[in-house]
Amino acid sequence: MKTTCAYCGVGCGVEVTQPQSASPQVSGDTRHPANAGRLCVKGAALGETLTQAGRLLHPQLHHQRVSMETALDAAADGLRRIIDAHGPEAVAFYGSGQLLTEDYYVANKLMKGFLGVANIDTNSRLCMASAVTGYKRAFGADAVPCCYEDLDEAEVVILVGSNAAWAHPVLFQRLKQAKAQRPEMQVVVIDPRRTASCEFADLHLPLRPGSDPALFSGLLHWLEQHDGIDVTMLPHLDGIDTTLRAAWQWDGAAVAAHCDISQEVIAAFYQLFARHERVLTLWCMGINQSQSGSDNNNAILNAHLLSGKIGRPGCGPFSLTGQPNAMGGREVGGLANQLAAHMSFTAEDCDRLQRFWRSPRMAREPGLTAVDLFDAIDRGAIKAVWIMGTNPAVSMPEGNRIARALAACPLVIVSDVLAQTDTTAFAHILLPAQGWGEKNGTVTNSERRISRQRAFMPPAGEAKPDWWLLAQVAQRLGFHEGFTWTHPAAIFREHAALSGFENNGQRAFDISGLAGMSDAQWDAMKPVQWPINARYPEGCARLFSDRHFYHPDGKARLLPPATPQPVVCET
């Protein structure tokens, strides 16, 4: 049985043999393009997670076992009472990058399209929201332009704020192999620490934490001063003059003082970037998890856009996703400030989505994001929360405050695979969810590749798919017509059809070419990169090769990052 690893955003294909045995054997899928058979130690040990030890096997109401019907009725009745008394604004969902795309889609549809508010966010907010904002500001779309094959063709690979050796080990091994095959390829690591990712780096920049925007603003200035601008890109860019003027203050001396590294090291980095055509920049949480995370992203994107190092083999700005399906969640609008199929809260998009869903009401403005959502629970504004596949009492900042908020919340519904976590302790209603090996659906990895996650073992106890639990509660709330699916393939078809609905090339995410699949075709679907439509029936490896972007004028945007004033060096 071929399926997909449940850990990081690399999205490795795995093959399970003896799936019905007590100890299924897990190995890498040699035909999956994300990993070509490689697995890290966590992926190789997936078989050891297939145990019922600690599992939530049955629904619980106030920590007493009840029937599934009783638990679902209680969830719907509780939500209805709170909505009737306080309005739908008093309800929130909090999801996870561990959910499958089909689960995410149903949760988003119920909250935004039928309850009519956007109070649905996920733990992906804590890792990927900065990258989403950066891409949308620059490209007009949350669209990662690169693919893993670019590692095999790059002349320079830059790892910034990413200890890929630990966080994305299979991808790092691919980089290591590429370096061994082409020793002339240069590897640059930008990180305050000397991590394991420096193992074969040709250059390490141990910059001051938080100084990344200054480093990349200095790179823009260098490109301008040393003929590093691709003049053929200029007609496709907006904000050039403003961004370059903001970069003028960041000469070599100012960058060196601010970043606390030598001018010689900085110049060596800038020269590598400028002199080579195929430059690939990979980044992760060291860039994203920052007060200036979005600006950090745009500083990197500025350099690639102005130098034209985008849309071609071996080059581009490539954010590495942390969770296995954070991108799938973004595709269906899983964050509070976005709508499904990469639509936003414009009146036109809201109307379009409501017409497609035929929903009674539609969220018209962004909802509460993760931190604000739990703040609202803490102050009593949110009175019901449904938490799916995550443990915010541990994973959210200020865990003690999260625990206090959940303890005082009138209705806490938790769907999870484990019976006892720091979060389930506060649940009034516990719903048993299916785990890896039991779930059936799709996930999307860092390179926009959609893969199947297939069920190969029976559910533990009464565990159900998250989408099914959501749909059952939606039906009990009176929304039967919008939630009648009996198979996850039907949800995927609806998701795919929505992506192409009144799109006309205006939205980057378009998998309408998959909307007509039968259940059998969906089950056998091979990994494929979006967009998948009439123009790209077999998918598309790299975006923006035609230099057309998704802002209304078709141009990309350069944005000057907010950076502190340079350190003035006294002579």
How many Å apart are CA 347 and CA 154, to the nearest integer? 42
- Residues contacting 49, CB < 8 A, separation 6+: 435, 436, 437
Cβ–Cβ under 8 Å, residues 324 and 7: yes
The DSSP 8-state label assigned to residue 114 in this structure reads I
Instruction: Return left, alpha or beta for 361; rule: phi > 0 is left, psi -120 to 50 is alpha, else beta.
Output: beta
Cβ–Cβ under 8 Å, residues 41 and 173: no
Q: What is the mean pLDDT of residues 521-543?
A: 97
Lowest mean pLDDT among 282-296, 314-328, 361-375, 394-408: 282-296
- Assign 571 a pLDDT band (cuts: 50, 70, 90): very low
Q: What is the largest CA-CA distance in the chain?
A: 78
Cβ–Cβ under 8 Å, residues 474 and 458: no
- H helices of 501-559, in order, are 519-523
Write out the DSSP string of 326-344. Answer: HHHHHHTT-STT-BGGGB-
Q: What is the mean pLDDT of residues 528-535?
A: 97
For 322-353, give one letter per residue: b (16+ CB within 10 A) or e.
Answer: bbbbbbbbbbbbbbbbbbbbbbebeeebbebb
Q: For all residues of the chain together, what is the average pLDDT?
A: 95
Residues forming a β-bridge with 64:
61
Cβ–Cβ under 8 Å, residues 13 and 27: no
Q: Is residue 44 predicted with pLDDT exceeding 80?
A: yes
- Strand, coil or helix: what is 303? helix
Query: Could you report the per-residue pLDDT of 74-99, keeping only the tens digit for each?
Result: 999 999 999 999 999 999 999 999 99
Angle at 91 between CA 107 and CA 443, to 5 degrees: 20
Nearest Cα to Cα of residue 384 among 82, 77, 71, 62: 82
Of the chain, the percentage scoring pLDDT greater than 90 comes to 92
The torsion defined by the Cα of 434, 455, 323 and 98, in degrees rounded to 10, comes to: -20
How many Å apart are CA 444 and CA 30, to the nearest integer? 19
Query: Could you report the per-residue pLDDT of 142-200, keeping only the tens digit for each?
Result: 999 999 999 999 999 999 999 999 999 999 999 999 999 999 999 999 999 999 999 99
What pLDDT, on the 0 to 100 scale, is given for residue 289? 84
Q: What is the mean pLDDT of residues 295-310?
A: 97
How many Å apart are CA 309 and CA 466, to the nearest integer? 41
How many Å apart are CA 474 and CA 133, to the nearest integer? 31
**Token code pair at residue 61:** 């109401």
Query: Could you report the per-residue pLDDT of 145-154, keeping only the tens digit for each?
Result: 999 999 999 9
Q: How many CA atoms lie within 13 A of 104 on its CB side?
A: 34
Lowest mean pLDDT among 283-292, 347-356, 397-406, 544-553: 283-292
Cβ–Cβ under 8 Å, residues 98 and 499: no
**Token code pair at residue 506:** 């205006």
What pLDDT, on the 0 to 100 scale, is given for residue 564? 63
- Assign 27 a pLDDT band (cuts: 50, 70, 90): very high
Of the chain, the percentage scoring pLDDT greater than 70 comes to 98
Cβ–Cβ under 8 Å, residues 104 and 329: yes
- Assign 563 a pLDDT band (cuts: 50, 70, 90): low
How many Å apart are CA 317 and CA 169, to the nearest integer? 19
- Strand, coil or helix: what is 482? helix
What pLDDT, on the 0 to 100 scale, is given for residue 293? 84
Residues forming a β-bridge with 442:
452
Q: Is residue 207 predicted with pLDDT exceeding 70?
A: yes
**Token code pair at residue 34:** 């994300």
Encoded amino acid at 474, one letter: A
- Assign 262 a pLDDT band (cuts: 50, 70, 90): very high
**Token code pair at residue 58:** 């049955």
- Residues contacting 472, CB < 8 A, separation 6+: 72
